[in-house]
Amino acid sequence: MEELLNIIIKDISKTNNVAESIVYQDKEFYLFKSNSLDLLPQLPDNCIDMIFADPPYMLSNDGVTCYAGKMVSVNKGDWDKSSGFDSDFNFHQRWISECKRILKPEGTIWISGTYHSIYICGFILQKEAFHILNDITWYKPNAAPNLSRTVFAASHENLIWARKDKNSRHVFNYELMKSGSFNEDIFKNEKKQMRSVWAINSPKPSEKIFGKHPTQKPLDLLKRIIISSTKEKSIILDPFSGGGTTGIAAQEIGNRAYIGIEIEQEYIDLTVKRLKHLQKNFSLGYQV
Ligand SMILES: C[S@@+](CC[C@H](N)C(=O)[O-])C[C@H]1O[C@@H](n2cnc3c(N)ncnc32)[C@H](O)[C@@H]1O
């Protein structure tokens, strides 16, 4: 893992000033402040074991939603604004095809999204000849109510899990998913197979003590993803790292390298605070 990480970082440094783009590095945790469309093309072919991508949903177009019982704007930031269907499609096409190139043949990608983006991403995965393994429904038992009373209350997101090469063998830690402890998940029966509908609440208050990212994913979701689909020494990449949930989950599990790419300094700072706090307080939980 260390050797491969060195190759990856050296490759980036050929075309980029590494000192400028790596904004944080601690052992196997690398954070790049960059546009993924610029940085992904600098990574070597076939070098990443697993990618988790939570791309912009492109839904910040001045609508309203309900938060803590109040009507609030849906706007998350300029990075989440749609530039029209063709432009959004082109954006997703560019990063997904780079992800295909950098994944190892047996490597897998997870993409999360709502209907605003997930069908586009699913279409592109098929166009790029990924082999789709599962689509997971992540049900949020504590989702906010719908204020308009004209549609159903949105209470889930989708996750697509796909392998780069149909003929390779991917990692799936079947037994850990079947026998692990998932007490809060109302759909998981003890010692029965893990199904494709997961009930996980939004991030706990303890995950927001340094502030929160507007679309921060719960650690329980990312831990489940990483435990199920990686092994020790895996290199995990998140091209839209946000508040760093994927990296923090990888650190909690242990023995995995993390490469996060994020365009906004504010979220890089949040990630570093979360990581330092974890390093101070956490004793390793899972060993896969
Ligand atoms: C949906 S959020 C990810 C949230 C993350 N999963 C978490 O749990 O905190 C998407 C993130 O991608 C970042 N972003 C948007 N466009 C980007 C790009 N082209 N390159 C890198 N980061 C980008 C945004 O700043 C935002 O933080």
- pLDDT tens digits, 197-215: 999 999 999 999 999 889 9
Inform me whether the pLDDT recorded for 218 exceeds 80.
yes
Confidence of residue 18 (pLDDT cuts 50, 70, 90): low
269 Cβ closer than 6 Å to some ligand 1 atom: no
- Residue 242 Cα to ligand 1 midpoint, Å, equals 4
92 Cβ closer than 6 Å to some ligand 1 atom: no
Domains of the chain listed by start with CATH number: 2-220+232-266 (3.40.50.150)
Confidence of residue 16 (pLDDT cuts 50, 70, 90): low
Cα angle 46-51-56, degrees, rounded to a multiple of 5: 130
Instruction: Enter the DSSP assignment of 209.
Output: B
217 Cβ closer than 6 Å to some ligand 1 atom: yes
Fill in the amino acid letter for 50: M
**pTM of the complete model:** 0.93
Closest ligand 1 atom number to CA of residue 270: 9
210 Cβ closer than 6 Å to some ligand 1 atom: no
- Residue 81 Cα to ligand 1 midpoint, Å, equals 12
**92 three-class SS:** helix
271 Cβ closer than 6 Å to some ligand 1 atom: no
35 Cβ closer than 6 Å to some ligand 1 atom: yes
Q: Are 240 and 99 in contact (CB under 8 A)?
A: no
What rounded mean pLDDT belongs to the chain?
Answer: 91
**219 three-class SS:** helix
